Amino acid sequence: MDTVKMGLAAKAAERILGVAGTGVKNRALEAMAEALTANAAAIIAANDRDIAAGRENGMKDSLIDRLRLTPERIAGMAEGIRQVAALSDPIGEIIEGSVRPNGMKIQRVRVPLGVVGIIFEARPNVTSDAAALCLKSGNVCILRGGKEAIHSNMAIADVLRRAVESTGLPADCIQLVSDTSRESANEMMRMSGYLDVLIPRGGAGLIRAVVENSTVPVIETGVGNCHVYVDKTADIPMAANIIFNAKTSRPSVCNAIETILVHKDIADQALPVIKERLAEKNVEIRGCERTRAILGDCVIPATEEDYATEFLDYILACRVVDSLDDAIDHIAKYSTGHSECIVTSDCFSAEKFTSAVDSAAVYVNCSTRFTDGGEFGLGAEIGISTQKLHARGPMGIRQLTSSKFIIQGDGQIR
């Protein structure tokens, strides 16, 4: 991987894309969308090679399915690009402004971050999603996908680059790293001076490696050890419904829950209802001693490690707590700061929980599964930040921007 060459090409493209108007960017996005459908056959042919290789390497059917591109999925990717084009352009927005006592006018205006690096794993649609969000927000992107999808990603990137170029913007606004070795990821992490931010999208191992090794500023995404706390005043059917949805509607995603905490005063009534609901999907419950005393030996004893685990599966830890404070303490100890929920009818409990729980999204009486850019009304999302710097929670195109101060005077000195 020639990081210097890619970096210099990115910086050159940045200077053109960063000052491009909304019309220019939207024409490029429209061309990208059209080119994807026009070249669907070539993309699918490349995808077939990835799928054949996956089969050969014994890839699981569920992963093969995530990898597969069909005419419908490619049409969906094109539609996603058109939705990004329809978002209002954040660049140039005047965020705030004032006139200083000496007459200087200060404005803070929204500008692109510059060059955005994204390291992602299996799904090839991330290539077009990320490219579209970056382009709309005036950012050059350097994308590095997983080796499982390399032929698909290269075909998609090639199509998108030619489309961008056809509208007069540099093809290098979108760059794909063709080398999928571990070394190329490490090299991206050392591209400070070229990259303004690096966003890892994938499993906990990838994210940890990037946080540990990157000299480029990182936005940590995605790991979610999420909780629902059932307060003593909870509406029990509502609690069971929220828990069922948050655990089973899509257990493999980061906003699914992994542990429930149940107030001791309601545990006797609530736990059997919750258990019955979860049984519809054969969810395995790993419970504390008090949970097992209520639900019986069918509940596996929960270990300390269970409370710290993002199962991403039909497994749920369960603990009976003495109070709201104990629930807050448990969450402070085990949560990854993603999404937590209280089910309660008591407004003081709700207020205390939302104030004291230090997570990106804190819910009262609704499912943690809503932590998502689209659900929050941000348009498409580039990821979900679990750090506090720069962006927290679902990130849309605004989170791909920075700002600068523009100061106008007539000769002021200090």
- For a second copy, the closer of residues 149 and 361 by Cβ is 361
Contact in structure between 319 and 287 (CB atoms under 8 Å): yes
- For a second copy, the closer of residues 62 and 98 by Cβ is 98
Q: Binding residue for a second copy (CB under 8 A) from 260, 271, 360, 380?
A: 360
Size of the site for a second copy (CB under 8 A): 67
Candidate ranges 78-86, 130-138, 149-157, 235-243; the one touching a second copy (CB under 8 A):
235-243
Q: Binding residue for a second copy (CB under 8 A) from 4, 19, 41, 94?
A: 19
**CB 133, min distance to a second copy, A:** 16
Q: Binding residue for a second copy (CB under 8 A) from 38, 41, 279, 389?
A: 389
- For a second copy, the closer of residues 69 and 350 by Cβ is 350
Q: Binding residue for a second copy (CB under 8 A) from 359, 380, 383, 396?
A: 359
Residue 397 C-beta-side C-alpha neighbours within 13 Å? 26
What track of x and - describes contact with a second copy for positions 364 through 383 (by CB under 8 A)? Answer: xxxx-xxx---xxx------
**CA separation, residue 118 to residues 8, 209, 218 (Å):** 17, 14, 10
Give the three-state DSSP class for 119: strand
Token pair for residue 244?
A: 């069922």
- For a second copy, the closer of residues 163 and 361 by Cβ is 361
Q: Which of residues 173-232 bind a second copy (CB under 8 A)?
A: 192, 196-197, 211-212, 215, 217-219
Q: Enumerate residues 6+ apart whose C-beta is below 8 A from 286.
A: 299, 300, 301, 302, 303, 306, 315, 316, 317, 318
- For a second copy, the closer of residues 75 and 211 by Cβ is 211
- Cite the DSSP H helix spans in 137-281: 150-166, 182-189, 204-213, 236-248, 264-279
Q: In whole angstroms, what is the distance from residue 72 CA to residue 78 CA?
A: 10
Candidate ranges 24-32, 33-41, 130-138, 359-367; the one touching a second copy (CB under 8 A):
359-367
Does 97 bind a second copy (CB under 8 A)? Our answer is no
Q: Binding residue for a second copy (CB under 8 A) from 30, 34, 235, 346?
A: 235
Q: In whole angstroms, what is the distance from residue 376 CA to residue 228 CA?
A: 19
Distance of CA 84 to the CA centre of its chain: 16
Helix axes 22-38, 71-86, angle to 10 degrees: 170
**CA separation, residue 349 to residues 274, 320, 340 (Å):** 21, 17, 14
Token pair for residue 249?
A: 């509607």
Q: Binding residue for a second copy (CB under 8 A) from 17, 59, 111, 321?
A: 111
**CA separation, residue 45 to residues 1, 37, 81, 129, 156 (Å):** 25, 13, 22, 20, 11
- For a second copy, the closer of residues 45 and 389 by Cβ is 389
Q: In whole angstroms, what is the distance from residue 136 CA to residue 26 CA?
A: 7
Does 411 bind a second copy (CB under 8 A)? Our answer is yes
Token pair for residue 129?
A: 């999603």
Distance of CA 30 to the CA centre of its chain: 24
Q: Which of residues 236-275 bind a second copy (CB under 8 A)?
A: 238, 241-242, 244-246, 249
Q: Which of residues 23-52 bind a second copy (CB under 8 A)?
A: none
- For a second copy, the closer of residues 166 and 323 by Cβ is 323
**CB 380, min distance to a second copy, A:** 16
Candidate ranges 13-21, 64-72, 148-156, 180-188; the one touching a second copy (CB under 8 A):
13-21
**CB 353, min distance to a second copy, A:** 10
Instruction: Report which of 286, 242, 81 is spatially closest to residue 164, judged by C-alpha positions.
Output: 81
Q: In whole angstroms, what is the distance from residue 327 CA to residue 202 CA?
A: 29
**CB 374, min distance to a second copy, A:** 11
**CB 388, min distance to a second copy, A:** 4
Token pair for residue 26?
A: 């939207």
- For a second copy, the closer of residues 145 and 393 by Cβ is 393
Neighbour count for residue 389 (Cβ, 10 Å): 10
Summarize as ranges the residues that interact with a second copy (CB under 8 A): 15, 18-19, 98, 100, 104, 106, 111, 113-114, 192, 196-197, 211-212, 215, 217-219, 235, 238, 241-242, 244-246, 249, 332, 350, 354-356, 358-367, 369-371, 375-377, 387-390, 392-393, 402-414
